[in-house]
Amino acid sequence: MDTHVAELGIACEACHGPGEAHVDANRDPRRRYDLHASGAADGTVVNPALLDKERATHVCTRCHGVHRFKNHTDRERWSEHGFRYRPGDLLTDTVDIDQDGLDKFWPDDVVRVTGREGNGLFKTPCYLKGEMSCLTCHESHQKPGDPRTRAEWADDQLKPLMRTDHACLQCHDEYSDEETLAAHSHHPPGSSGSRCMNCHMPYTTTGLLKAIRSHTVTEPSAAETVEVGRPNACNLCHLDRTLAWTAEHMEDWYGTPQPQLDEDDRSIAASILWALRGDAGLRVIAANAFGRDSAREASGSEWMTPAITFLMTDPYHAVRYVAERSFRKQPESARLGLAYDCVAPFETRSRETLEIFEGWGARARPGRRSGPELLIDEDGQLMLDVFNRLVSERDLTPVTLNE
């Protein structure tokens, strides 16, 4: 290929389109002054904020999405002339935003890997029936007067307040009333269990060695976990509870019919099933959840040590890496010091974690929380037989979730 680059990196023209006409026109200071004074839009260049929701979202989806060429001719054209798409166009004029048969999606087509936020938004009711776009929550330039440091803004490039309920309340303002919200969420208003995104945009997308919020706004349910296999928002916080517990409360609170559940789903905490029996994609989501402060507060954390240390011996590097980060919040991690290295050879990295794992199970502690759902018997010891059975049932399907 004979390649030419106009601008390297994700620079101005990637989001604003070709700028030559804009630069030429604005050599004239009078034009600049008039535009500034009138506040009118400058028609010589694209401002994503002035595009409709679809075209605005397409600016970002060109990179933050999965799409394919419509046909062979288009592919050939691309290899000679590059992408035809320009900001302001409809991306769908040049490519199909289609994801059939790709393993980066859950069976109901919700994205499971970062970098495809566009595909996520295109399934969201707030986009489909409303005016939501990426720019509802994100801004590509930090605005003057923003009290956040540059680094705070740059981490996720969100508009002010967009980590809070405000992101949703700008359209669903009926829930700004605390009582209405508490009646809806069934959690006290100040609780993490009452924050919109914790139920509607849970951490079920993975990548960059962590989990991020799903960019498809969904409603949590136990059926989603049974039918699609995706961890539901309730059990991602209530890590110590069974799927049946969630199903019962969902029926109680929202009238959602309970799905058919097997014996394990009724008797063992959902997070333990994901960590021990799940495929590598589920295991990394569980490993991440064990380290989230809101989940640790809702679920207690002492009981997690065996599951987390076991994930630190996982065959997948990413699972081990994320599990270690969560383990650093456990008191036992002081004993391991900095010795653990998730990419060291198996023998080296396993010895100490296995010692902690076995030590935890054998060493009963008075007052340790017990219960069959946590695989801890009345003496405070790990129920190793059930633990080993679940591991022997682990889903070993190879998983590739590249970003």
CB of 63 to ligand HEC, least distance (A): 3
**Phi and psi, residue 211, nearest 5°:** -110, 145
Separation CA 62–CA 52 (nearest Å): 16
Closest CA to 322 of 375, 286, 365: 286
DSSP for 339-397, please give it. Answer: ---TTS-HHHHHHHHHHHHHHHHHS--TT---BGGGTB-TTS-B-HHHHHHHHHT----
Residue 274 tokens read as: 């994901």
CB of 207 to ligand HEC, least distance (A): 6
Residue 357 CB contacts under 8 Å (≥ 6 apart), including other chains: 305, 306, 309, 310
Identify which of residues 185 and 225 has a Cβ nearer to ligand HEC in the complex. Answer: 185
CB of 331 to ligand HEC, least distance (A): 21
Identify which of residues 154 and 344 has a Cβ nearer to ligand HEC in the complex. Answer: 154
Q: Does 62 bind ligand HEC (CB under 6 A)?
A: yes
Binding-residue total with ligand HEC (CB under 6 A): 81
Identify which of residues 254 and 344 has a Cβ nearer to ligand HEC in the complex. Answer: 254
Q: Which residues, listed in sequence order, are joined to residue 198 by a DSSP beta bridge?
A: none
The C-alpha R_g of the chain, in whole angstroms, comes to 25
Q: Does 60 bind ligand HEC (CB under 6 A)?
A: yes
CB of 215 to ligand HEC, least distance (A): 5
Name the pairing type of β-strands 205-207 and 210-212: antiparallel
Separation CA 371–CA 348 (nearest Å): 33
> How far from the centroid of its chain's Cα atoms is residue 13's Cα?
28
Residue 193 CB contacts under 8 Å (≥ 6 apart), including other chains: 185, 186, 187, 199, 237, 298
> Of 293-312, which residues contact ligand HEC (CB under 6 A)?
294, 297-298
Identify which of residues 47 and 92 has a Cβ nearer to ligand HEC in the complex. Answer: 47
Stretch that binds ligand HEC, among 117-125, 300-308, 375-383, 389-397 (CB under 6 A): 117-125
> Of 253-282, which residues contact ligand HEC (CB under 6 A)?
254
Identify which of residues 295 and 356 has a Cβ nearer to ligand HEC in the complex. Answer: 295
Stretch that binds ligand HEC, among 28-36, 72-80, 139-147, 335-343 (CB under 6 A): 139-147
Q: Does 92 bind ligand HEC (CB under 6 A)?
A: no
> Of 238-257, which residues contact ligand HEC (CB under 6 A)?
238, 246, 249-250, 254
Residue 129 tokens read as: 């029936």
Separation CA 143–CA 10 (nearest Å): 19
> Of 366-385, which residues contact ligand HEC (CB under 6 A)?
none
CB-count exposure of residue 27 (10 Å: 0-12, 13-18, 19+): exposed
Among 51, 58, 59, 272, interactor with ligand HEC by CB under 6 A: 59
Stretch that binds ligand HEC, among 120-128, 261-269, 347-355, 362-370 (CB under 6 A): 120-128
> How far from the centroid of its chain's Cα atoms is residue 315's Cα?
22
Residue 201 tokens read as: 């945009």
Among 165, 279, 358, 377, interactor with ligand HEC by CB under 6 A: 165
Separation CA 43–CA 46 (nearest Å): 7
Identify which of residues 44 and 313 has a Cβ nearer to ligand HEC in the complex. Answer: 44
Q: Does 220 bind ligand HEC (CB under 6 A)?
A: yes
Site string for ligand HEC, 39-58 (x = CB under 6 A): --------xxx-------x-
Site string for ligand HEC, 66-85 (x = CB under 6 A): --------------------
Among 77, 86, 138, 329, interactor with ligand HEC by CB under 6 A: 138
Among 91, 212, 243, 287, interactor with ligand HEC by CB under 6 A: 212
Identify which of residues 47 and 313 has a Cβ nearer to ligand HEC in the complex. Answer: 47
DSSP for 73-96, please give it. Answer: HHHHHHHHH-----TTS-GGGTEE
Q: Does 114 bind ligand HEC (CB under 6 A)?
A: yes
> Of 179-208, which residues contact ligand HEC (CB under 6 A)?
181, 184-185, 187-188, 191-201, 208
Q: Does 94 bind ligand HEC (CB under 6 A)?
A: no
